[in-house]
Amino acid sequence: MTGYYFHNTDIRSTRAHMSQILQTAENITVQVTLELVMPKYNKVIDFETIKRTNNLTKEPKTTFLKNFGIQSSSIFAMILFNIPATLFLCTKKIKKEVDFVYVRSNLFLPLAFVARLLFVPIFYEIHRKPIGLGEQIRENIMCPLVSGMIVISRYLAKHYRSYKKKILVAHDGVSLERFGQHVEKNEARKQIGLDMHKSFVLYAGTVRKLKGIDYLIEAAIMLPKVDFLLVGPIEHGYENQTYNSNIKFLGKKEQKDLPILLHAADILVIPHPKGEYSQSPMKLFEYMASRRPIVASRLPSISEVLNDKNAVLVEPENGEALARGIERVLSDANHSQALVEKAYNDVKNYTWENRGIAIAEFMKKTIITK
């Protein structure tokens, strides 16, 4: 079986979603042939750096298509990319070199239409419910066209069952080789120059309101003796403001630098609010693999993986509850260690390898029985 994974992201991106795409594609290819099809942005692509940054075992098999001279990824670029993508698909169909199409965005609706007309099965990976009227309309048109859906939580699966399509729940994964290496906290702090005697709470991800950062800041104000480290790109609105001295914005870090930062913390936090945006983040699994206690919002998708035996779950959108959860971890070392051990054992089920195999088997079975 041969398939093509279409996406508009610049392959050189160091954002988490690009790493997720590359890891998923690499591990699907253990079972079937899968080639990435992406825009060519006329810039130098260093595959050795891409491999190292994303912990890949081999160079991703990729075809780059010209996209009308556009030099950067955007919604407009994504829509236009349907044209070269569709021509590419038609060529592969004529040559009998395609068995399925894989996409991760309903902006590929025109491509999905053509694939359906060509009787090429379409598999659609979904990470959240649609937000906004435009997304909802596209989703309602897209979903009936597909042969199968891959969703990242049972919570999402409930929503998409109404389309009466085959669904696979495949949570995101983690590289145990990268994040699961056992590094003592003090050794990690020595490597990056953190105080050995302070308590550090770390958040890794985009610093933005939709990720619950306001509640994290509230918790930090309530815990002045604890330092809060926020690692990730900073959204406009959080820059050039005055914060308590225990709140430190470290800015964007490369994926390769993230494991040592996680190992240096006393506590890792996921303060996500209610709503459909980023309900099941990749950092959840990276945290679990890092052998550090986790304090997270008790949200439906997160609670499918984290529970009261492997993390401290708190009421979402409540800075005081988040602060109490952090205090609980800091005050009870034995309980915290038990949570850490359980989380690490649990995350062994959520590797990229397991995810890729499950998706490949799902696609093969769906195509055979179609």
What's the CA dihedral at 173, 174, 176, 180 to 10 degrees? -130
Q: What is the pLDDT of residue 370?
A: 67
Considering the domain architecture, whether residues 145 and 259 belong to the same structural domain is answered as: no
Q: CA 193, CA 187: separation in Å to the nearest integer? A: 10
Q: Do 113 and 207 belong together in one domain?
A: no
Q: Let me know whether 181 and 168 are in one domain.
A: no
At residue 237, the pLDDT reads 86
Give pLDDT, residue 279: 67
Pair type for strands 100-103 and 62-66? unpaired
Angle formed at CA 260 by CA 255 and CA 263, multiple of 5 degrees: 125
Same domain, 168 and 198: no
Q: What is the CATH number of the domain that holds 33?
A: 3.40.50.2000
Do 289 and 365 belong together in one domain? Answer: no
Task: Give the other-Cβ count within 10 Å of 313's Cβ.
Answer: 20
What's the pLDDT tens digit per position in 66-116? 998 888 888 888 899 999 999 999 999 999 999 999 999 999 999 999 999
Q: In terms of residue numbers, what domain contains 91?
A: 2-173+351-369
C-alpha span between 86 and 111 (Å, rounded): 5
Residues of the chain with pLDDT under 50: none
Residue 175 to residue 348: CA distance in whole angstroms: 10
**Looking at the structure, do residues 292 and 151 belong to the same domain, yes or no?**
no
Provide the 10 A C-beta neighbour count for residue 225: 8
pTM of this prediction?
A: 0.93
Question: 220: helix, coil or strand?
Answer: helix
**Nearest one of 269, 303, 298, 284 to 347, comparing CA atoms:** 284
3-state class (DSSP) for residue 29: coil
**Looking at the structure, do residues 228 and 323 belong to the same domain, yes or no?**
yes
Residue pointed to by tokens 């590419």: 88
The C-alpha angle with vertex 280 and arms to 288 and 115, in degrees rounded to 5, equals: 125
DSSP state for residue 297 in the 8-state scheme: E
90 and 224 share a domain? Answer: no
The total of structural domains in the chain comes to 2
Rounded CA-CA distance 260/292 in Å is: 12
For residues 267 and 329, membership in a common domain is answered with yes
| Same-domain check for residues 199 and 338 | yes
Pair 9, 107 in one domain = yes
Contact (Cβ atoms closer than 8 angstroms) between residue 314 and residue 48: no
Cβ-based neighbour number of residue 7 at 10 Å: 25
Of 348, 335, 199, nearest in space to 267 by CA: 199
- Assess whether 131 and 184 both reside in one domain: no
